[in-house]
Amino acid sequence: MKRIIVSGGGTGGHIFPALSIANALKRMDKEVEILFVGAEGKMEMEKVPEAGFPIEGLPVRGLQRRLTLENVKVLINLWKSLRKAKKIIRRFRPDVVVGVGGYASGPIGRVAANAGIPLVLQEQNSYAGVTNKLLAKKAKKVCVAYEGMERFFEPSKIIFTGNPVRKDLLNNEGKREEGYAYYGLDPKKKTVLVTGGSLGAGTLNKMVEAHLSELGGREDIQVLWQCGGYYYEQLHGELAERLPANVKLLAFLKRMDLAYACADVVVARAGAGTISELCLLEKAAILIPSPNVAEDHQTKNAMALVNKQAALMIKDAEAVERFMTVLSGLLDEEAACRALSENIARLAIRDSDEKIAAEILKLIR
């Protein structure tokens, strides 16, 4: 039996690629046993068991960027996490450890590398995360999704694989009509999908709310607006009387595959997973990078597309002011919309999960 630990998480952007890699490993080798290691209290502790894999939690947390007593707790939790990581490694005896980024991959990756166990890193963003940068010297291989990652990692270790994407999103043959029916949309209108992810994004919500009358005044479009569970109750109450008929407000998109299938334009943050999905699904996109991420990496992700005329970008601080102008310009220029779709499709990297899984299995053999 081959044993593999997959570590990391904290956000869907880390968890979904990790699950894709694990599923690819199981498809490619039935003799593989997989254990996930995540951070206690984070979403991986729920999502990973739902996907059918066991998971252990570490009490690890990220350092605050300002001087605060909280950082004393962080250091104590780091020490506890390293001790627990040693116990997990001794008990499970993995052949390979895979780190996908996020706090939890730090302790387990360091302990594994110090014990001589091969370490594989997967870096989703165009600007490497802190944990992966710290672990990179001890890693055997680093799987990346963007060009120019030699700035962060030894060139000899880099393998260009792209980011794994959930398989259910990619099989969208004939799903457009199903998507219209599922979300109660009109097939004769262009569909704008606005999504801030499952938690929502405050700026994107303010932006749509500020332009509801203009969106409602356009009879040729309809808006599927995922505002996030955190914001839904307040928005639903405030907008009950003035939400236009062509704007659908939802807390979650339970069928993301169907939402994508009927979208003509996608307005979203610029997380690495979202960008990989947009490339593979060939969607015209307006990206509004979150300013609340390490090293402003979402702006760097978005600019990698903008520089190839594969997406439009609006700065977070300008989103409320510029949104309707940029969206109308794109909706009214079919050639521009088509060009974005064609250019983003050229950046798609397929079967990333299997490419990464193959590299992991090579280290065992």
Amino acid at 120: V
Q: Residue 64's pLDDT is what?
A: 57
Residues 125, 100 contacting (CB under 8 angstroms) = no
The CA distance from 245 to 247, in Å, is 6
Q: Residue 229's pLDDT is what?
A: 86
Q: Residue 198's pLDDT is what?
A: 67
User: If 0-12 CB within 10 Å is exposed, 13-18 middle and 19+ buried, where does residue 81 land?
Assistant: buried
Residues whose CB falls within 8 Å of the CB of residue 288, separated by 6 or more in sequence, listed in order: 201, 203, 204, 207, 267, 268, 269, 270, 313, 314, 315, 316, 319
Percentage of the chain exceeding pLDDT 70: 96
Q: Residue 27's pLDDT is what?
A: 94
- Spans of the chain below 50 pLDDT: none
Q: Angle, to 10 degrees, between the axis of helix 272-281 and the axis of helix 334-345?
A: 110
Q: Which two tokens stand for residue 218?
A: 């356009």
